[in-house]
Amino acid sequence: MGHGDKSGRPSKKHKSSTKEDYKAAAFEEEDAYYVEEFGDDDRDGDGEGKKRDFTKLELKADHVNRPLWACADGRIFLETFSPLYKQAYDFLIAIAEPVCRPESMHEYNLTPHSLYAAVSVGLETETIISVLNKLSKTKLPKEMIDFIHASTSNYGKVKLVLKKNRYLVESPFPEVLKRLLSDEVISRARISNEGDDGFAVSRSVGEIDGRHEELLTEAQLAAAAEEKEAHSFEIDPGQVENVKQRCLPNALNYPMLEEYDFRNDTINPDLEMELKPQAQPRPYQEKSLSKMFGNGRARSGIIVLPCGAGKSLVGVSAACRIKKSCLCLATNAVSVDQWAFQFKLWSNIRDDHICRFTSDSKERFRGNAGVVVTTYNMVAFGGKRSEESEKIIEEIRNREWGLLLMDEVHVVPAHMFRKVISITKSHCKLGLTATLVREDERITDLNFLIGPKLYEANWLDLVKGGFIANVQCAEVWCPMTKEFFAEYLKKENSKKKQALYVMNPNKFRACEFLIRFHEEQRGDKIIVFADNLFALTEYAMKLHKPMIYVNILMCSHIERTKILEAFKTSKTVNTVFLSKVGDNSIDIPEANVIIQISSHAGSRRQEAQRLGRILRAKGRLQDRMAGGKEEYNAFFYSLVSTDTQEMYYSTKRQQFLIDQGYSFKVITSLPPPDTGAELSYHRLEDQLSLLSNVLNAGDDKLGLEILEDDTDDIALQKARARRMMGSMSAMSGAKGMLYHEFRSGQKGGFGKSKPKDPAKRHTLFKKRFV
Amino acid sequence: MPQVKIIAKNFMDMVSSLPAMKLDKLYENAFICEAILRSLPPLAKKYVLQLLYIDVPVSASSLQEWVLVDGASKHRVAVDRLIQLRVFTETVDRKKEATYRLNLMFQMNLRKHVVHGGVLPREPMAANITVRLPSLEELDNYAAQQWECFLLHLINSAEVEVTTKSISPSMMKVFQRGLLSQRDNEGSRLTESGFQFLLMDTNAQLWYIIREYISNSEDRGVDSADLISFLLELSFHVTGEAYNMNTLDEIQRITVKDLADLGLIKLQQGRKDSWFIPTKLATNLSISLSDASSRKQGYVVVETNFRLYAYSTSKLHCEILRLFARVEYQLPNLIVGSITKENLYKAFSNGITADQIISFLQQNAHPRVAEKVPSVPENVTDQIRLWESDLNRVEMTPAHFFDDFPSRDVFEAACDFAREYSSLLWEDSKKMQLIVKTEIYAHMKEFLSHQK
């Protein structure tokens, strides 16, 4: 993180010139300190150099009763067994970024971004400091207090409000507005109708939010409830983007919060929709909504909930509160269907008020307000469109949307967001996601493109409450067979390394064993994930299971839907093989077992997303609650070949989940030593023929599946400096990689391995077979 | 350098291993006799009391008749113990029948004791002389602090500022022997036993040090029997009471000073007299080591993400954790670290085993997690063990490599020769190279020279 501006702290000069009296001198020495200490929230850094000694902090006499420690570098430790845990958690999640949240002790980081989020949900600098001080076992380090002051002095001070279709720049601090107006761009954008430099003054109601009551003194509480004066000036709607740009941290550093006073919006027509009575938001869903609608207006921002915790209900509820036209963006056609279904499920919206806009279905709603569900691609698409699509997209462009609802915001690259946001005019943006981690660190962009993180749920608390499944995670270590490992180590096979460790016969056997165990012993529904298409097809064919994958020319929506339908309803289809398409958005609520045979390098997000596929809680609530009948009701297996790259990646991948409090159990011998004769590849000859298969397959076939627009993946790819482009025929399925569906139990014929042409055998094996 | 085997036996084991002469001398002290009696297993106690006024030897067979059949094993243990301690003297007659009688000195002293009642080794001083004695809590803190300081000093931690007058360097050397290895250039390092020592609980550590102290006494010109008897005496003193230094002889005075450095005793100087106050460490000395009640409260919380939180202000704890974990934050009453592969590998290479680390973490588990089963998350313990076993996957065999054979015949013959001794580790017949175990290297050379 750079010095000064970018980190959200004002530079020294500007600081002492504008800011009141808090210890300008202190900043001289502190500044250097910040630059060193802040910004590396990545604690994978090694060496003892990271050790920090804060033993000099003064313990308060009653420290046992207080739940947290705060360090000068922004790290906060929270005891979860403290009686004040619940309050402290709600408070910390609002002001700090969670680093890890296992059972007994949580760690958080205060960052400029997290404080920005805190300020934007209405917490004030003094409130943050005083509550933090009350909760802390020690006296707050001076550095931290200064840091909070420095970070919050600018953030959240200015709001952009769209009121009766006038854009108003609003702030309770007239001096801040004056400062903004001293900027040329902004002053030119101003529409001044009063003729003088005075600001319009209105009254706005303070936060209706009693969360921290017990922690605040009565005086502070009274101050919060008091009506506040808001000063504002109006700007030219055409200049809004420019003004926003000028306010970003790299310019004036007063990032604007966007709020939508939807109740007073009389210009845009109302949409008749209410939540159905049976749609009962859960406590954490309520909480996230209350952050969004805390002051009676709708704030833009991101809500982070684990998969299966009911993100769609939050989205639909938000739309129902705003009651204006809503544009809902999803990542692919399957999830468009699912979102449309969710809207109909939870709200009483009329069927002709909701429509889907995808390449397959181009519907339009009737009336002057409605809900449109589409994909990011459809909106951002730059090429030529059909006449019909062009009409719809024109409508989308021209409409003033009350809510822009964005699903899975972490997968969509920033430039796509920019495009979508610039194309559509919306009063309020709500981003939904399960995991705010990316390998390319683009997350911070979201803070300014959409808005701050409004709420993030704690996974373990949701598990304890029975809201999401309690998953047993396991890492299965599969030793490489001698022959495969020898090939793996050869230099000439460097491009086949992945295929070799994925096709490791021991891994195959472990996978087969697990499938049999869960299908036969427990009657579970299983998803097997493989990124490697070669492996996916080999595994699925050998085991006679249906599979779904995408390639650019064969993205048949109908076929996918058909397989998923069979998986959901049929008693004979209990296992489905999925490629990366299944990572997110495809809703498969029935599945409760995941077996991951290959994965994408060290992507923490993918791991979390895949786990998310089985998080939806099943069975009865009381059985799932802590101490209930079933300890674990879902299983996540990650199969890794030992001594290969996979081991290294798997550690990295698990980091996010481990930080959420999940633990991976290592299983070293699967199938159990005394069994396994009935599994495939029991005999050496079979293993060797598999090996020759792998070695003979073209490099293009062994590659990864690349989904478009997944920059996160590309960031990972770059690290490996290899991007596979398949040949045309391979992609079109002409190489026999078509989608097949098998019924389990159906034997013979189709899936059997093709007779081998001995001439094609790898030299190594020739002599063994002759 | 002597190999230090750390076995946490108890004080009485030490006594019983003394040579017969010394033991007999020990029993001249009536007070020791009482201490020995107290330490005996219940059945052995009963035998001693039953035989106390019998002046003739009792045959083993009649002794045997006193017990029921299912008590036979206890009987054997009791008798063995008594013989070990030479409380029983055993004679075997011509018919190979064993008879027992009580050690005469022991018997006499104990009879006296029964008739005249017990005496304390020395009387505490009157309260009006010793003005301000430390409270029990202060004394405990003092003992803990002193012991910790000693341990820090022991492991030569450079950061420790020496607060108290430390143990004489020569004594320190004695204690460090086996725990630290001195290398000429790089200063001293903890040895395998040293690391293991640090992971033990206080009682076991104390016992180890005391044992060293006793076994070295002869070198310092102190009779080990005298020393043992004094230490036993000490354990009969009352914690927190003051005892006059006048009552001690020269050797005991030196001993008391040494013990004060370890925190077993606090020394105080009045206007006229000086006195010593035994701490809990001293009075617990003869208590069995596995006694759970003497164990301190745990302080370590280990999370499933390998984070480690230690509720402690102690520098020593921090040093100990550093043996196998990366310490990241130090707060006024909390140490935050994480267990990493690198740190564990370091620990393993220092000779600490996974089991020792795990049992350390379990024994010191914070009360908040101690009730949980397991107190240390399973995935963490599994992983620690897996990392350890990972290191053991490669087996080393010292070997020698041969190539440049003059002819294929010689090569084949060499292979056969090595095979005969089952010492052929590897051969490449194409390149005519082979590797054999070091044991037969000399034979192999000889064999090859004959071939030429």
Half-sphere exposure of A716 (CA within 13 A, CB side): 18
Phi/psi region, residue B13 (left: phi>0; alpha: psi -120 to 50; beta: rest), is alpha
In the predicted model, what is the mean pLDDT of residues A401-413? 84
CA distance B345 to B56: 64
pLDDT at A158 over 80: yes
pLDDT at A184 over 60: yes
User: What is the end-to-end Cα distance of chain A in Å, rounded?
Assistant: 63
Cβ atoms of residues A213 and A190 within 8 Å: no
For residue B273, the model assigns a pLDDT of 80
Mean pLDDT of chain A: 75
Identify all chain A residues contacting B333, using CB atoms and an 8 Å cutoff.
Answer: 59, 63, 137
In the predicted model, what is the mean pLDDT of residues A446-455? 78
Asked if A666's CB is within 8 angstroms of B383's CB, the reply is: yes
The token duo for A578 is: 């999925």
Q: How far is B154 from chain A (nearest CA, A)?
A: 23
CA distance A316 to A297: 17
- Lowest pLDDT segment from A171-175, A433-437, A443-447, B122-126: A443-447
pLDDT digit string, tens, across residues B266-288: 888 877 788 888 888 877 776 54
For residue A318, the model assigns a pLDDT of 92
CA distance B129 to B151: 34
For residue A736, the model assigns a pLDDT of 36
Cβ atoms within 10 A of the Cβ of A19, count? Answer: 16
pLDDT at A18 over 50: no
Give the closest residue to A107 by CA, choosing from B377, B301, B381. Answer: B301
For residue B130, the model assigns a pLDDT of 67
CA distance B235 to B203: 14
For residue A637, the model assigns a pLDDT of 93
- Chain A interface with B: residues with Cβ < 8 Å: 43, 46, 48, 50-59, 63, 69, 71, 75, 77, 81, 100, 102-105, 107, 137-138, 658-659, 661-666, 668
From the list B332, B383, B386, the residue facing A138 with the nearest CB is B332
Give every CB contact of residue A274 below 8 A, 6+ residues apart in sequence. A320, A347, A348
Asked if B332's CB is within 8 angstroms of A57's CB, the reply is: yes
In the predicted model, what is the mean pLDDT of residues A656-667? 84
In chain A, pLDDT over 70 holds for what percent of residues? 74
For residue A12, the model assigns a pLDDT of 38
In chain B, the largest separation of any two C-alpha atoms, in whole Å, equals: 99
pLDDT at A77 over 90: yes
Mean pLDDT of chain B: 80
CA distance B285 to A550: 73
Asked if B332's CB is within 8 angstroms of A661's CB, the reply is: no
Asked if B333's CB is within 8 angstroms of A71's CB, the reply is: no
Cβ atoms of residues A130 and A229 within 8 Å: no
With the C-alpha atoms ordered A349, A352, A353, A355, is the resulting torsion angle positive or negative? positive
Asked if A48's CB is within 8 angstroms of B331's CB, the reply is: no
Give the closest residue to A168 by CA, choosing from A200, A121, A195. Answer: A200
For residue B276, the model assigns a pLDDT of 87
CA distance A136 to A71: 10
pLDDT at B239 over 90: no
Give the pLDDT band of residue A23 (cuts 50, 70, 90). Answer: very low
Give the pLDDT band of residue A373 (cuts 50, 70, 90). Answer: very high
The token duo for A116 is: 């920005």
> At A138, is the secondary structure helix, strand, or coil?
strand
In terms of pLDDT, which residue wins out, A667 or A740? A667
Asked if B386's CB is within 8 angstroms of A104's CB, the reply is: no
For residue A376, the model assigns a pLDDT of 87
From the list A46, A57, A81, the residue facing B368 with the nearest CB is A81
Give the closest residue to A552 by CA, choosing from A718, A727, A415. Answer: A727
pLDDT at A150 over 80: yes
- Chain B interface with A: residues with Cβ < 8 Å: 301, 303-307, 309, 313, 326-334, 336, 342, 368-369, 377-380, 382-383, 386
- The length of chain B is 452
CA distance A128 to B438: 71
For residue B181, the model assigns a pLDDT of 65
Residue of A nearest to B322 (CA): A48
pLDDT digit string, tens, across residues B350-394: 778 888 889 888 888 888 888 877 888 888 898 899 888 888 877
The token duo for B320 is: 């100990």
CA distance B293 to B361: 18
Cβ atoms of residues B224 and B215 within 8 Å: yes
Give ∠ CA A92-A410-A546 in degrees, rounded to 5: 125
> At A269, is the secondary structure helix, strand, or coil?
coil
B386 φ, ψ (degrees, to nearest 5): -65, -40
> At B175, is the secondary structure helix, strand, or coil?
helix
CA B191 to chain centre: 15
Give every CB contact of residue A486 below 8 A, 6+ residues apart in sequence. none
In the predicted model, what is the mean pLDDT of residues A716-734? 41
For residue A69, the model assigns a pLDDT of 92
- Lowest pLDDT segment from A168-177, B112-121, B355-364: B112-121
For residue B198, the model assigns a pLDDT of 78
Asked if A102's CB is within 8 angstroms of B304's CB, the reply is: yes
For residue A443, the model assigns a pLDDT of 58
Residue of B nearest to A52 (CA): B329
In terms of pLDDT, which residue wins out, A623 or A156? A156
Identify all chain A residues contacting B305, using CB atoms and an 8 Å cutoff.
Answer: 100, 102, 658-659, 661, 663
For residue A203, the model assigns a pLDDT of 58
Q: What is the ipTM of this complex?
A: 0.70
Whether the model pTM is above 0.95: no
CA distance B121 to B30: 10
pLDDT digit string, tens, across residues A327-356: 999 887 878 888 898 899 889 988 888 888
Residue of A nearest to B330 (CA): A53
Identify all chain A residues contacting B303, using CB atoms and an 8 Å cutoff.
Answer: 100, 102-105, 661
Percentages helix, strand, coil for chain B, rounded to the nearest 5? 50, 15, 35
CA distance A600 to A613: 17
pLDDT digit string, tens, across residues B245-255: 888 888 888 88
A631 φ, ψ (degrees, to nearest 5): -70, -50
In chain B, pLDDT over 90 holds for what percent of residues? 5
Give the pLDDT band of residue A45 (cuts 50, 70, 90). Answer: very low
Residue of A nearest to B328 (CA): A51
In terms of pLDDT, which residue wins out, A480 or B124? A480
The token duo for A233 is: 């000036």
Which of B301, B302, B305 best probes binding to A when mutated, by most A CB atoms within 10 angstroms?
B305
Cβ atoms of residues A476 and A638 within 8 Å: yes
In the predicted model, what is the mean pLDDT of residues B174-181? 70
Identify all chain B residues contacting A77, using CB atoms and an 8 Å cutoff.
Answer: 309, 329, 331, 334, 336
A190 φ, ψ (degrees, to nearest 5): -70, 140
pLDDT digit string, tens, across residues B36-87: 887 788 888 889 998 889 888 888 888 888 888 888 888 888 888 888 888 8
Half-sphere exposure of A554 (CA within 13 A, CB side): 20
> At A488, is the secondary structure helix, strand, or coil?
helix
From the list A50, A54, A102, the residue facing B307 with the nearest CB is A102
CA distance A526 to A593: 5
Asked if B307's CB is within 8 angstroms of A105's CB, the reply is: yes
In terms of pLDDT, which residue wins out, A757 or A276? A276
pLDDT digit string, tens, across residues A391-403: 888 888 888 888 9
Give the pLDDT band of residue B337 (cuts 50, 70, 90). Answer: very high
CA distance A405 to A327: 6
pLDDT digit string, tens, across residues B157-168: 544 444 445 556
pLDDT digit string, tens, across residues A112-125: 888 888 887 778 88
CA distance A124 to A146: 14
Q: What is the DSSP letter of A362?
A: B
The token duo for B167 is: 């143990």
> At B165, is the secondary structure helix, strand, or coil?
coil
> At A386, is the secondary structure helix, strand, or coil?
coil
